[in-house]
Amino acid sequence: MDTVEKIVVLENEVQAGLVDLTLTKLGIPHIMRSYYDSAFDGIFQGARAWGHVEAPSNYKEEILAIVTELRKQVPPAAEGSQPGPGSEAR
């Protein structure tokens, strides 16, 4: 793989899985970098972002378009958001 660069930050594990699956199916070379830190049991990963995608720069626009489209298709609640106080199931 050519030299890679940070392309886009991913919000959560569900989004990361969808992006990874899509890029793999399309044959786009990439690396998924998680921000998980075992020393803090992942506490910062949930508060900030899941991680990011690294890829050769010539794939940047294509990857950004894919992530933008996936974010439109998957509502935030389906991306692993936790229900807030007072939003109990009825």
Q: What is the mean pLDDT of each run of 10 residues along the chain (90 residues)?
A: 88 91 97 74 60 96 96 66 43
Q: What angle do CA 37, 25, 1 make, to 5 degrees?
A: 65
pTM value is 0.72
pLDDT at 59 (0 to 100): 97
CA atoms of 4 and 86, how far apart (whole Å): 44
